[in-house]
Amino acid sequence: MLTPDTKPDLSDRLFTDLDFSSGAVAAVSGGSDSTALLLLLKDHLDRAASGAKLLVVTIDHGLRPDSAVEARQVANFCAERGIMHRILAWRGDKPASGLPAAAREARYRLLAEAAGAEGIQLILTGHTADDQAETVLMRQARDDDGRGLAGMAPATLHDWRTWIVRPLLGIRRAALRDMLRHRKIGWIEDPTNRDSRFERPRVRAKLLAGEGERRIAEALARSQQAAFLRQDIGRRAAMLIDALADRPCAGLIRLDRDFAGQEDGEAAIYALRILLAAVGGVSFLADEARCAALFSRLRLGSLRATLSRTVVDARRTGIFLHRENRNLPVPAPPVDNRLWDNRLRISLKEGITLKDRPGDLVIAPLGPAAARRASPSEIPQSLARAALAAEPSLWSNGEHVDFTGDAGPRSISIDPVVAPFARFLPSFDLKPAAAIAALVGAPPLPAPPFLGHDGGRGWAKA
């Protein structure tokens, strides 16, 4: 275990590879982990990057009577040290079930908004090795398919824009608390961490009971092995996508027939799971067992099947994938930064509003009639029409208008996203995500948050 005397070396080891050129947002609740993160980060920036902007953000979830008071305590702690601080509240109704997941989603959204407002591209959180072990044990109890056993990624891209980095994943909580005691700094104890109604506190209590240290060590070892395997199969799947997939027209993916005959069936099935989710606009990869069965059928010849909202049409000329033409979004006015069908992101130019535009401008599926007129002749017409019919289009007063037409929609753009990774992209999955992005025409990944932008050595640390 690390001792308080190692603190200066520790802070350099944790942060020296990070790119602070845009500054950093530190998520600080006032608990021991995030308080230690802030102090170690401040030490490092004072020594190595004194000009870097540092913003501390405390999220008041509004779930406990004392949350607002605790947020003010963090604000005072920062004010005493000359650190910029902001309190953001999670407002609105809270769900009756799935509260931890909803709170986590709201927390990251608010942190990303705060970072964006300051032009900062890096968020740091205080997740520790203890948190990592708990996460792995929770996922193991749910009979996870293996990907999730990698635990939390050292870095995660949020909304394809902002990097969330967890520099303390290799540090035990006890070491951080020893450091705080050595510096005579207290922390806030969140009673939610002992609330047995929630899964994580129950797992934490079991670890404190008997053989906890052994179980933590085993979970962390399992996490590292699972992370290695996930990165390796992702790399192999990306190679198959790069080599054997193309996009004949919007909404249509074609796989070479050789895809079904790959010797590396494991990587091919993994690639198929990602492709089906991306084409169908599904946030989770297609079911592994069903994908394996589908892959076996693809080896036998022609077929037509549907999985993860994606039609799979295997022909002599290739294996074609397109969004099935049902449960598509209803017509609605364009909204900035809104995901359409979880497949495409709508963007409005800054300062542009649509209220003064003629007619009722809406985004809706192109539909079969308009798709018939837009189908390229070099693609089998049934496939092109089916794919294009499920793609988004602008409509004004019931008439189809192009995104670059004369009806005034030049202020609107719509870009593909990689559905299973559009909201959260763990660093484990960078290679397949980049391969899919290139395939569907999504924006490229932003530069990694590590100096040198190699992405490999830094993310392998934890």
Q: Dump pLDDT digits (tens) for 415-458.
A: 999 999 999 999 999 999 999 999 999 999 999 898 864 444 34
Q: Confidence band (pLDDT; 50, 70, 90) for 196? A: low
Q: What is the pLDDT of residues 387-396, one digit of tens each?
A: 999 999 988 8
SS3 state of residue 165: strand
pTM of the model: 0.90
pLDDT value, residue 53: 97
State the pLDDT at residue 190.
73
**pLDDT, averaged across the chain:** 88
For residues 54 and 84, is the Cβ–Cβ distance under 8 A? yes
What does the pLDDT average to over 364-374? Answer: 86
Delineate the domains of the chain, giving CATH numbers in brackets. Answer: 4-227+453-459 (3.40.50.620), 338-416 (no CATH)
Q: What is the mean pLDDT of residues 256-281?
A: 97
Q: Residue 405: is its pLDDT beyond 70?
A: no
Q: Show the beta-strand stretches assigned E in 196-255.
A: 245-249, 252-255
Name the residue with higher pLDDT: 201 or 335: 335
* pLDDT at residue 350 is higher than 60: no
The average pLDDT across 239-255 equals 96
Residue 2, pLDDT above cutoff 70:
no
Please give the pLDDT value at position 358. Answer: 44
Mean pLDDT of 274-278: 98
pLDDT band at 407 (very low <50, low <70, confident <90, very high): very low
For residues 310-332, average pLDDT: 95
What span, in angstroms and rounded, lies between the C-alpha atoms of 384 and 382?
Answer: 6
CA dist 223 and 98 (Å) reads 25
Decide if 361 contacts 334 (C-beta within 8 A).
yes
Which amino acid makes up residue 240? L
